[in-house]
Chain A
Amino acid sequence: GEDVEQSLFLSVREGDSSVINCTYTDSSSTYLYWYKQEPGAGLQLLTYIFSNMDMKQDQRLTVLLNKKDKHLSLRIADTQTGDSAIYFCAEGLGYQKVTFGTGTKLQVIP
């Protein structure tokens, strides 16, 4: 079945870049997502990449996809304290279920 794995915790200093990594197993996934969850809040769709792309950049966010290794990463440039949250990697086919990873808790140290 589908499985998505992430490291549980990442700590960075304010102003540095953060890189959150993820591996997935379902090679048929069309969408690879990054969702952000702040404490007590819902799931905010941060960005996504189609499986036929290698890279997507959106302001401070860069998503890299290595389809051969089934590896996805999210880079946040110039990380701010407001970026502190849990980041979920997820994969899906668009109109079917999305499978989520365990989430990576990003702590930004001022």
Chain B
Amino acid sequence: EPEVTQTPSHQVTQMGQEVILRCVPISNHLYFYWYRQILGQKVEFLVSFYNNEISEKSEIFDDQFSVERPDGSNFTLKIRSTKLEDSAMYFCASSEGQREQYFGPGTRLTVT
């Protein structure tokens, strides 16, 4: 069964460093998303992406964040200068048009 994959599974970085989280969505899906879950809290929407453009973003997704689809298979989330409060589990998701969203296993980001 096709699934969303994410790398790395765990990333440790120092405050102020840039990180790139990678996702490979399900191959025939056209809509891509990033969410995050701070430990013990709700899963929060960050951004949605379609047709090489951001289609929706939350107030969390400020200028420190960016997304890119650098090739036909990868979808990345970049955090330019990480803060302690960016520590969270980051989930990528994809959907086939206006359909249900499938999530990847997540990348645990630890900022020290």
A, B from the same assembly: yes
The answer, among A44, A94, A97, A103, for a CB contact under 8 Å with B99, is A94
Query: Of B40-48, B62-70, B80-88, which stretch is located at the interface?
Result: B40-48
Q: Across the interface, do B103 and A96 meet the contact criterion of CB distance under 8 Å?
A: no
The answer, among A33, A42, A99, A103, for a CB contact under 8 Å with B104, is A42
The answer, among A45, A90, A95, A99, for a CB contact under 8 Å with B50, is A95
Q: Across the interface, do A97 and B100 meet the contact criterion of CB distance under 8 Å?
A: no
Q: Across the interface, do B31 and A88 meet the contact criterion of CB distance under 8 Å?
A: no
- Does any Cβ of A come within 8 Å of B95's Cβ? yes
The A-contacting residues of B in range 5-56, CB under 8 angstroms, are: 31, 33, 35, 42-45, 48, 50, 55-56
Complex formed: what's the CA distance from A94 to B55 in Å? 13
Which B residues are CB-close (under 8 A) to A44? Answer: 103
The answer, among B42, B44, B100, B106, for a CB contact under 8 Å with A94, is B100
Tell me the minimal C-beta distance from A46 to chain B in angstroms. 11
With A31-B100, A33-B100, A98-B101 as contacts: A42 and B91 at CB distance below 8 Å: yes
Complex formed: what's the CA distance from A35 to B101 in Å? 10
Complex formed: what's the CA distance from A98 to B45 in Å? 7
Closest to A96 in B: B56
